[in-house]
Amino acid sequence: MGVQLTPGTSLTVIEGKSVLFSVKTGESYGLNAMAAEMLKLCLEGGIDHAAERLAKDYSAPVEEIRGDLDELTRSLVQAKLVQVTAGRGS
């Protein structure tokens, strides 16, 4: 599955921190460094790609990483900042 920012949402770095900003709602959502890396990989190549890459980079079980990615994605979908697509990435 792919992940893309919802229309009107941008991912920006402000003072060294990654922030999702929605021009539709005016709300912002700060991401810690790990969440920002997870999201960027999901945007580039989809959730499966991100899980495999992060599991390799951090020597962690892919199932554990996938669970963390699913949790992050769910939170961002609920906040209407990203949407899940059938393809890979945006």
pTM (2 d.p.): 0.90
Q: Which amino acid is at 32?
A: N
CATH 1.10.10.1150 correct for 2-83: yes
What mean pLDDT is predicted for residues 2-12?
95
Q: Where are the domains of the chain?
A: 2-83
Pair type for strands 17-22 and 82-85: unpaired
14-47 residue pLDDT tens = 888 999 999 988 888 999 999 999 999 999 999 9
Between CA 86 and CA 90 the distance in angstroms is: 10
